[in-house]
Amino acid sequence: MTGEQYRLPTEAEWEYVARAGTTTAFYWGDEIGKGDIYCNGCGSEWDLKKTSPVGSFKPNAFGLYDMIGNVWQWVQDCYHDTYKGAPKDGSAWLGDECGRRVARGGAFNRGPVAIRLAARLGRAATARIGNGGFRVARTVDNFASNTVRSEGH
């Protein structure tokens, strides 16, 4: 409809925009806090009922909503147990066999540990998951370099 090409973000892009310049467990600090996000036991009005409406919680410093909690978000990368050998340029880490893909961000039915910014999950590429979703990205020309802007989920 827009004439633009969209894609899943790479795992590196996802973490960069989710962290929004922070180094803490969550983009607002190291403590979960009551009602800061939607997860099992995080104190929101939706706890274990259903996914929360987009934008129900404060955005991160980049203005992005729902980067953690609510649903796991698929990224382009194939799942690897460690980051040893991962691309250093932020591109997707693919391979000849990619039976499992990375999901980031945690989900409503997981506790606070599973929604930390560093949390990740390997899921079968063909899996249908009721606690999963995706966010799209678009590569744009910005002066002389390419940057990624999140378009929601």
Render pLDDT for 111-127 as a digit per residue (tens, 0 to 9): 888 889 999 999 998 88
The answer, yes or no, to whether residue 143 has pLDDT greater than 80, is: no
- Are the CB atoms for 9 and 75 separated by under 8 Å? yes
The answer, yes or no, to whether residue 26 has pLDDT greater than 60, is: yes
Nearest-angstrom CA–CA distance, 91 and 141: 16
Render pLDDT for 38-59 as a digit per residue (tens, 0 to 9): 888 888 887 777 788 888 888 9
- Are the CB atoms for 90 and 13 separated by under 8 Å? yes
72-78 vs 100-104, strand pairing mode: antiparallel
Which amino acid, residue 27? Y
Name the DSSP class of 9.
Answer: P
The answer, yes or no, to whether residue 23 has pLDDT greater than 70, is: yes
In angstroms, the Cα distances linking 102 to 52, 63, 84, 139, 153 are 22, 24, 15, 20, 16
Nearest-angstrom CA–CA distance, 30 and 140: 33
3-state secondary structure of 147: strand
1-82+90-153: which CATH topology? paralog of FGE (formylglycine-generating enzyme) (3.90.1580)
Q: What is the pLDDT of residue 144?
A: 45
Q: What is the pLDDT of residue 142?
A: 62
Render pLDDT for 53-99 as a digit per residue (tens, 0 to 9): 888 888 999 999 989 988 999 999 999 999 999 999 999 999 877 99
Nearest-angstrom CA–CA distance, 113 and 100: 22
